[in-house]
Amino acid sequence: MTPNKSHLLNVVLSFASLVLIAPAFAWNPFAEKKSLKEVELSAAEWQKVDLVAGWAADSDSNLLIEMKNNLPGPLACHAVLVNLQSGGPVQKAFSPYLYIAPAATKQTSVNGVKKGLLKDYALNCSCWKKEGVKTCVDPGKK
């Protein structure tokens, strides 16, 4: 049984109309126009994050870091880099990311950093911003 030309034409036209109409179904006139982007924190934003580092009384090789988020939106911390006085780095990636809600405090630890050998440390954190807006926002809120 071979398809006739009119049947084949109907199939092609139906498929073409679906392809052309599909984007219209995805369009929402009530959708928010500004998109969100995850961006690194600026120096001014880091000033609003309280950081405390130290060692637990029962462990001198486990660096503890406490972060308090005083920003209006949540933070996503991806990693921490610890530089030792000997020049070697200790890195820890957070998987999943360390999520810190506004006005919340979270703790993390980095093993292998002996007390007295810490030179400095840096966190890699970001927040979400709307296009054209300079402050961090909560992506879960409208």
Structural domain that includes position 94: 36-130
17 assigned to some structural domain: no
> What pLDDT shows up at residue 85?
93
- Per-residue pLDDT at 21 exceeds 90: no
The Cα–Cα gap between 66 and 49 comes to 10
123 assigned to some structural domain: yes
- Per-residue pLDDT at 22 exceeds 90: no
* CATH (domain of 86): 2.60.40
4 assigned to some structural domain: no
> What pLDDT shows up at residue 92?
94
If you write DSSP's letter for every residue of 71-104 in order, what string do you get?
SSS-EEEEEEEEEETTS-EEEEEEEEEEEE-TT-
10 assigned to some structural domain: no
Q: How many domains does the chain have?
A: 1
31 assigned to some structural domain: no
pLDDT band at 115 (very low <50, low <70, confident <90, very high): very high
20 assigned to some structural domain: no
Average pLDDT over residues 19-35: 60
> What pLDDT shows up at residue 38?
94
27 assigned to some structural domain: no
135 assigned to some structural domain: no
- Per-residue pLDDT at 89 exceeds 90: yes
